[in-house]
């Protein structure tokens, strides 16, 4: 940790007056409390020192000392450290310097807390609404503690998000909010000159449902893993693991080694199915449905294996705070090895069949170009970063669960385009199989769940990150009273990657838009049922199957 000490010294000598204290509850975590005047300088320093921006966490602290808190977090991958810069602003004057001009990826984090907490960031280049819906009334900030979790403000009419002005000489092509090539609702304005994309604006968060608020007001610690798992339909265990690790950190709980190994196996099996799923979707987006059919056929064996082991094809519900719920029996181990062998053989066939295919090359090489420097600047994570020569992988750089006990390679290529992403993800399939085999081999004996005797102390901070198939998920927990967290922040891998998409789109053909967006494997969210809103009366009817049938028959 020599580098960390050096960094501490630099910060002390440069911003001595603005730094309140350093705190290091764990060897690889450093919390720096900073006066609000020093935030901009400290963050800029950390970013230029090679820190990768993770996420900003805003929280309401009014009950304790009438302040709103803002935490900027940076990962130092070479030193396996995470540094959190904590600052507070008074509730009646919540103004802070924006760090977005220096750290572009912080843009969304700051915009989010303009909406949710009513903070103000001076010097933010694009202080537009991000999370809240267009007709959400001004002045109500849902993440403030006094706002109830089930508040439903009256809907307003004739309000719409103003997309950015189209540059001169370009025309606008709207994509979304619902579009066949995008699987979830999101709205893009693409500015094109002929067929070439010259810029874009994005409006998303259409399915923002306030999970963080819900989980910090209604449910208790050990129910959240099951809600966390439903944040993402593909990498559910990742979110549950990241959350569970956070709570284990604030509780000083060390889970059994066997549970750590089972978590590792679970995460890698999830990665396997996710990579195969993405490969299929990517094939489908470029009109190559053979890949789609075949990779999903191979994936089916993994789904059945999971069904047998965890009780479901997806949303495995395996991870709870303190361990895992189901053990690996010897029969299951044999089953797993058999399925892995089959999947590996079939993946080799697919790999060989598509790696030399000129159609795929033509559709993906040079498409979605983004330089290495830009990828670092935008803090891109996961396969899109590794396709641009950024050698990061949380599993190797910040080992969690049992990743310190297994050996694997991190495939990195420097083609800087969508093709690189395809290659990285295919190679990762084989690495994942390697990891599961090693973990099964070394699986130690022991219990799978560690019980907790003490109540978790209030106001402790923890940050944990987990490598999801599509990037890096970051969770931040501030413990609270009543057996639940005071603040829980989730950052899915799409959050930073989507902010980099405008750079990838620039000067590409409009027809390549679906695959460029698809290359980051965007994960928005899904609505649960059909809602019909009568615009005149504002009445909401939830329709069931019979109503829909009746309607469709009439038509």
Partner 1 sequence: MWLTSKVKQVLMVIKPGVVTLKYPFEPHPAPENFRGRPHWDHHKCVGCGACSNHCSARCILVRDTCQELRIMLYDGSRCTYCGRCADVCPEKAITMSQEFENATGDREDITERIELFMLTCQRCGRCYDMENTNALERLDLRGYRYDSLEARALIRKTTEHFDPNVLKETEKYQRPTKL
Residue 16, interface with partner 1 (CB under 8 A)? no
Residue 463-482 contact track with partner 1, rule CB under 8 A, x = bound: -------------------x
Residue 294, interface with partner 1 (CB under 8 A)? yes
Residues 340-359 that bind partner 1 (CB under 8 A): 349-350, 352-354, 356-359
For residue 379, which of 484, 276, 498 has the smallest C-alpha distance?
A: 498
Residue 276, interface with partner 1 (CB under 8 A)? no
Q: Dihedral sign, CA of 183, 476, 1, 105?
A: positive
Q: CB of 286 within 8 A of CB of 517?
A: no
Q: How far is the CB of 321 from partner 1 (least distance, A)?
A: 6
For residue 398, which of 86, 22, 54 has the smallest C-alpha distance?
A: 54
Cα 451 to Cα 80, 85, 169, 237, distances in angstroms = 29, 32, 65, 20
Residue 333, interface with partner 1 (CB under 8 A)? no
Cα 349 to Cα 268, 342, 354, 360, distances in angstroms = 21, 11, 9, 16
Q: How far is the CB of 353 from partner 1 (least distance, A)?
A: 4
Residue 325, interface with partner 1 (CB under 8 A)? yes
Choose the binding region for partner 1 from 35-43, 220-228, 264-272, 438-446 (rule: CB under 8 A).
220-228
Residue 209, interface with partner 1 (CB under 8 A)? no
Cα 46 to Cα 2, 109, 466, distances in angstroms = 16, 17, 22
Choose the binding region for partner 1 from 264-272, 299-307, 409-417, 465-473 (rule: CB under 8 A).
299-307
For residue 288, count other CB atoms closer than 10 A to its CB: 16
Residue 371, interface with partner 1 (CB under 8 A)? no
Q: Which of 113, 221, 243, 292 binds partner 1 (CB under 8 A)?
A: 221
Q: Which of 128, 226, 366, 503 binds partner 1 (CB under 8 A)?
A: 226
Rounded distance between C-alpha atoms, residue 347 and residue 230, angstroms: 28
Residue 412, interface with partner 1 (CB under 8 A)? no
Residue 312, interface with partner 1 (CB under 8 A)? yes
Residue 331, interface with partner 1 (CB under 8 A)? no
Helix axes 418-442, 257-285, angle to 10 degrees: 150
Binding footprint of partner 1, residue count (CB under 8 A): 54
Q: Where are the alpha helices (DSSP H) in 356-453?
A: 358-364, 372-377, 383-386, 394-397, 418-442
Residue 227, interface with partner 1 (CB under 8 A)? yes
Residue 551, interface with partner 1 (CB under 8 A)? no
3-state percent breakdown (helix, strand, coil) of the chain, nearest 5 = 45, 20, 40
Q: How far is the CB of 315 from partner 1 (least distance, A)?
A: 7
**ω into 177 cis (within 30 of 0):** yes
For residue 462, count other CB atoms closer than 10 A to its CB: 22
Residues interacting with partner 1, by CB under 8 A? 148, 150-154, 218-224, 226-227, 230, 290, 293-294, 297, 300, 304, 307-312, 315, 317, 321-322, 325-326, 349-350, 352-354, 356-359, 451-456, 482-483, 544-546
């Amino acid at each position: 940790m020599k580098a960390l000490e050096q960094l501490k010294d630099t910060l002390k000598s440069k911003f001595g007056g603005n730094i309140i204290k350093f705190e290091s509850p764990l060897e690889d975590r450093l919390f720096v409390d900073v006066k609000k005047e020093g935030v901009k300088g400290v963050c800029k320093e950390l970013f230029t020192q090679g820190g990768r921006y993770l996420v900003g966490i805003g929280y309401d602290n009014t009950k304790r000392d009438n302040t709103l808190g803002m935490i900027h977090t940076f990962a130092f991958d070479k030193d396996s450290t995470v540094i959190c810069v904590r600052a507070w602003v008074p509730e009646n004057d919540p103004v802070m310097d924006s760090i977005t001009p220096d750290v572009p990826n912080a843009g969304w984090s700051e915009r989010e807390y303009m909406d949710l907490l009513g903070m103000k960031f001076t010097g933010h280049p694009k202080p537009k609404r991000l999370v809240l819906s267009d007709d959400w009334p001004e002045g109500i900030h849902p993440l403030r503690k006094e706002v109830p979790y089930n508040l439903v403000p009256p809907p307003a009419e004739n309000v719409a998000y103003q997309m950015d002005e189209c540059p001169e000489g370009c025309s606008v092509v709207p994509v979304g909010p619902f579009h066949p090539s995008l699987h979830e609702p999101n709205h893009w304005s693409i500015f094109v000159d002929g067929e070439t994309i010259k810029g874009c604006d994005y409006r998303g968060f259409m399915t923002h449902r306030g999970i963080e608020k819900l989980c910090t007001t209604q449910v208790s610690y050990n129910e959240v893993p099951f809600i966390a798992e439903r944040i993402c339909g593909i990498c559910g265990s990742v979110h549950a693991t990241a959350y569970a690790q956070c709570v284990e950190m604030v509780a000083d709980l060390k889970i059994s080694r066997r549970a750590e190994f089972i978590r590792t196996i679970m995460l890698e099996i999830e990665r396997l199915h996710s990579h195969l799923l993405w490969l299929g979707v990517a094939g489908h987006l470029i009109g190559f449905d053979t890949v789609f059919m075949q990779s999903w056929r191979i994936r089916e064996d993994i789904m059945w294996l999971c069904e047998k082991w965890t009780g479901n094809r997806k949303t495995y519900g395996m991870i709870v705070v303190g361990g895992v719920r189901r053990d690996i029996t010897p029969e299951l181990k044999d089953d797993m090895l058999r399925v892995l062998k089959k999947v590996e053989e079939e993946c080799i066939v697919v790999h060989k069949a598509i790696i030399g295919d000129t159609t795929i090359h033509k559709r993906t090489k040079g498409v979605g170009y983004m330089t290495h420097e830009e990828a670092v600047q935008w803090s891109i994570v996961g396969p899109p970063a590794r396709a641009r020569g950024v050698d990061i992988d949380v599993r190797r750089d910040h080992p969690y669960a049992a990743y310190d006990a297994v050996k694997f390679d991190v495939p990195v290529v420097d083609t800087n385009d969508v093709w690189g992403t395809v290659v990285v993800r295919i190679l990762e399939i084989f690495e994942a199989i390697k990891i599961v085999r090693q973990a099964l081999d070394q699986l130690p004996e022991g219990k799978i769940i560690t019980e907790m005797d003490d109540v978790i102390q209030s106001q402790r901070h923890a940050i944990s990150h987990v490598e999801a198939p599509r990037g890096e998920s970051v969770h931040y927990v501030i413990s609270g009273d009543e057996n639940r967290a005071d603040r829980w922040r989730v950052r899915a891998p799409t959050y930073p990657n989507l902010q980099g998409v405008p750079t990838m789109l620039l000067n590409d053909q409009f027809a390549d838009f679906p695959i460029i967006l698809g290359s980051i494997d965007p994960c928005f969210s899904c609505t649960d049922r059909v809602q019909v809103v009568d615009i005149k009366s504002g009445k909401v009817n939830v329709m069931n199957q019979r109503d829909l049938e009746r309607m469709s028959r009439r038509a």
